[in-house]
Structure 1
Amino acid sequence: MSIAIGIVVGLVLGLTGAGGSVFAVPLLMFGMHWSLPQAAPVALIAVCAAAAFGTVTAWDVSYVRYRAATLMSALGLVTAPLGLVAASAMPGGMLAGLFAAALVIISVRMLLQAQQHPEETQVVRASVAGDGAPAGGPICRIHPGSGRLLWTRACALTISAIGAATGFLSGLLGVGGGFVIVPSLRATTALSVHSAVATSLMSIALTSAGTVLVSLLMGRPMLWAAALPFVAGALAGMFAGRSIAPRIAGPRLQQGFAVMMLAAAGVLMMKSF
């Protein structure tokens, strides 16, 4: 069972750069009859391994914006322990309810964004003058030649805020944070959806690894017998997902991911009640 769940998680993560632990946690809770605190660290280990594999495969095509991913991860590792402490003080039903509410909000926003941009035209090749983004444009622009982010103060603060929020949610809910990173990067930067996905994968890998380490140091249990086959399944699913993803239009990926998040939210709401 854990291998099958891992394949589903890896496939979703490979296609969207997000949602691995979003689906891993409810699937493990129902499929393995675990509580959220039991499922969260196992989900993070599998997501970390699959995201690291996805980052390597995306590196050759220059999708990964490694400076942004590293900055987000650094801030995430600072706030992850705060999320772990908050999770320890909250009942399981409340945690599941918060998880579900976050999924609904983000999935609705992603559906609206995909409708506003029916074609993938997000790679805006424009330069920035001064320290902030021009009115009406994304906060983080990209270099017209290299495709790399143009780092301004506003851009750095925005990327840092995304990382801090991701780390806190990683500790609180046991998620890699891709369901926050991908839509946030799409809303605030000129990166294409495929570049946002690849950058999200690197950040997820680093943040998840750090969160798992902090969790173990804090004495949280780890069910290794189920975690290892789960990781193997996630890697297999990631390989398949990264092979398929370039053939699918960006907005279609967003719509599919949003629908799956709504389904996961419904499952978690039933669990919380």
Structure 2
Amino acid sequence: MDGLSVILTALAAGGVVGLAMGTLGGGGGVLAVPALVYLLGMTPSMAATASLLIVTATSLTALTRHARGGDVCWRTGLQFACAGIPVSAGAAVLSTHLPAWSLTAAFALLAVAAAVKMIAGAPAEAEVSAPRQARAARAVGAGAGLGAVTGLLGVGGGFLAVPALVSAVSLRMRVAIGTSLLVIAVNSVVALTTRLVTGPSGPQWSVIAPFAAAAVLAAWDGRRLSMALSPVILRRAFGVVLVLLAVAMIADLALTAIR
């Protein structure tokens, strides 16, 4: 692939990732990693680092947009994020010592889990808030799990954060989406910093720059799109895409093993 083709592919893929982040409050990393591996030729480990750069920039952009609309619960989001910080850093270090096939397999399983959540629909918004201690405990547990996913696989994990914020912490859906972006941003910064310090090589800026630029621009308009289109259709379409990605990744692993 020549230089122009790389830039055009990165721009197109970045636009899709940004729309997912801005519209659904997450899902960008689940699309970014396969795009970087299968369309742009990166190894799974390199793609995870690049994805964290892209997801960090995109989530901060989308967070700004949601915060302006008052759709961010800062206290709850920081509880989630703080619980995930040490786990995210540890998982980022661990990922550099794992074989590529194991990361691909784990990512395929993650894509399936995300697809199931997307296709099944959004969790019902709680009518009665849980006690404060119970909500804090749920925030810590969910935040730690989210940090592990972010550090290990280079994804933000918004598809996990949003349901947790709605069902476990009793946030309204729109606020949960905005708050998930805060959690994603913090975890991504921690995991990215750890990878850059401990990783064997630096990012491929010639690929990451156009990818991130397109993602940021698309994420800025993602919230407007989420208000114009049916959220059910958006989630289900995204879920179908994730199923296809997971099947393709599993098939690639099987073919590699046969060879």
1:193–1:250 Cα contact (<8 Å) kept: no
Q: Aligned residue for 2:36?
A: 28
Say yes or no: does 1:122 pair with 2:102: no
Q: Distance in 1 between matches of 2:16 and 2:231?
A: 20
Q: Distance in 1 between matches of 2:117 and 2:244?
A: 15
Say yes or no: does 1:163 pair with 2:143: yes
- RMSD in angstroms over aligned alpha carbons? 2.0
Q: Distance in 1 between matches of 2:56 and 2:66?
A: 15
Pick from 2, 21, 43 the counterpart of residue 10 of structure 2.
2
Q: Shift in Å at residue 127 of structure 1?
A: 5.4
Deviations 1:91-128 (A, max 9, x none): 111111111112212322443344xx7xxx6263x456
Task: Return 5+ residue gaps in structure 1 as ranges.
Answer: 132-151
Q: Residues 90 and 70 of structure 1: is their aligned pair in 2 closer, same or farther, counting only changes over 3 Å?
A: same
Task: Return 5+ residue gaps in structure 2 as ranges.
Answer: 1-8, 255-259
Q: Aligned residue for 1:177?
A: 157
Pick from 193, 201, 212 the counterpart of residue 181 of structure 2.
201
Greater fraction of residues in helix: 2
Q: Residues 127 and 9 of structure 1: is their aligned pair in 2 closer, same or farther, counting only changes over 3 Å?
A: closer
Which range moves more in the overlay, 86-95 or 28-37?
86-95
Deviations 1:180-210 (A, max 9, x none): 2123223323323222111111111121112
Q: Distance in 2 between matches of 1:42 and 1:109?
A: 25
Give the TM-score normalised by the residue count of structure 2: 0.87
Pick from 19, 23, 46 the counterpart of residue 15 of structure 1.
23
Q: Aligned residue for 1:75?
A: 83
2:22–2:223 Cα contact (<8 Å) kept: yes
Say yes or no: does 1:267 pair with 2:248: yes
Q: What percentage of residue pairs aligned between the two structures are identical? A: 29
SS at match of 2:69: coil
Pick from 60, 71, 84 the counterpart of residue 63 of structure 1.
71
Say yes or no: does 1:52 pair with 2:60: yes
Q: Distance in 2 between matches of 1:11 and 1:227?
A: 17
Q: Distance in 1 between matches of 2:92 and 2:191?
A: 9
Which range moves more in the overlay, 251-260 or 3-12?
251-260
